[in-house]
Amino acid sequence: MYILETTQAELFEQTMHGEVEQTIAGHLPGRVKVMGVSWTARLCIPDGRYVLPSGTPVTVFGRRGNTLLVLPYAP
């Protein structure tokens, strides 16, 4: 049985920074640590070729349900 993800994305007013704990690859979720707490996270880049390995810094810009939406950190 498949459940469609119907939760709307919520964009944060302020972004946060975190670090990948478990590889995030394309449209497959991984885990990130933000402010000492581990969260499920998805990469929000339409091109599914990106892979963020463990240790990669990320910017958290929103969430969908309990899953954080991240992009690679760009200073």
- Res 22 pLDDT > 90: yes
- Res 74 pLDDT > 70: yes
Domains of the chain, with CATH numbers?
12-72 (2.40.50.140)
Average confidence score pLDDT of the chain: 90
What distance in Å separates the CA atoms of residue 19 and residue 23, rounded to the nearest whole number? 10
Length of the chain: 75
- Res 5 pLDDT > 60: no
Plot region of 68 (φ>0 → left; ψ -120 to 50 → alpha; else → beta): beta
pLDDT band at 50 (very low <50, low <70, confident <90, very high): confident
- Res 29 pLDDT > 60: yes
- Res 65 pLDDT > 60: yes
Of 34, 38, 29, 28, nearest to 57 by C-alpha is 34
Cα-only R_g, the chain: 12
- Res 1 pLDDT > 60: no
What distance in Å separates the CA atoms of residue 28 and residue 44, rounded to the nearest whole number? 11
